[in-house]
Amino acid sequence: MTDHVAEILDAWARERPDLDVSPVGIFGRISRIERHKNRALAAVSKQHNIDGGDYDVLAALRRSGPPYCLTPTELFRGLIVTSATMTERLDRLERRELIRRHRSATDRRSVIVELTEAGRVLQDSVHEDLLQTEAGLLAPLSGQSRAALATLLAELAGALDAAGEITLSPRPAANRKGL
């Protein structure tokens, strides 16, 4: 199959046959898919008048199961955002009456964030539309291809997560061709 990334790979193979540009074939396509996904999901978010960050909070609460409560700390750690960002999101969601915050019954110093019925209804509706949109994006793939792709991506993501942040030192100028 020829796509834009294949054209780029062909050009690099012609111009720099000494380099293995195969990673461009993977990460270039991941980037292009991500752009398609972001546009499609932004349309769903706009339709429901909710941004991705606020949706993430509602989804985390919904996934937690009844009574759909978590502490702000559990939320910001689970969503990998700062406590300040989480506070802003919670303030926004509380103003819209999608969540409520109250003191913990077991620890008066602790706050509990609870998904309201309106928040659950909105989250369920957005979630269904997001899944339908994502399924539409994957429609060109067979079930077998989707499963294989999910397995490969899980393998790569797991390996990258286990490795932590990878940093490469720049090559010394003397080792670079043409410099």
Residue 56: what pLDDT? Answer: 94
The residue that leads in pLDDT, 76 or 178, is 76
Question: Does position 139 have pLDDT exceeding 90, yes or no?
Answer: yes
Q: Note the CATH architecture for domain 50-137.
A: Orthogonal Bundle (1.10)
Dist CA 33 CA 54 (whole Å)? 23
Residue 154: what pLDDT? Answer: 96
Dist CA 45 CA 58 (whole Å)? 13
Q: Once rounded to an integer, what is the mean pLDDT over residues 121-126?
A: 97
The DSSP letter of residue 175 is G
Q: 62: pLDDT confidence band, cut at 50, 70 and 90?
A: very high
What does the DSSP assignment read for 62-122? HHT-TT-EE-HHHHHHHHT--HHHHHHHHHHHHHTTSEEEEE-SS-TT-EEEEE-HHHHHH
Q: 70: pLDDT confidence band, cut at 50, 70 and 90?
A: very high
Question: Does position 178 have pLDDT exceeding 60, yes or no?
Answer: no
Global pTM value: 0.80
Q: 177: pLDDT confidence band, cut at 50, 70 and 90?
A: low
Q: Once rounded to an integer, what is the mean pLDDT over residues 132-156?
A: 96
Dist CA 112 CA 74 (whole Å)? 10
Proportion of the chain above pLDDT 90, given as a percent: 75
Residue type, 102: H
Question: Does position 130 have pLDDT exceeding 60, yes or no?
Answer: yes
Residue type, 29: R
Contact (CB, 8 A) for 72 and 111: yes
Residue 172: what pLDDT? Answer: 63
Give pLDDT tens digits for 8-31. 999 999 999 999 999 999 999 999
Which SS3 state, helix, strand or coil, does residue 149 take? helix
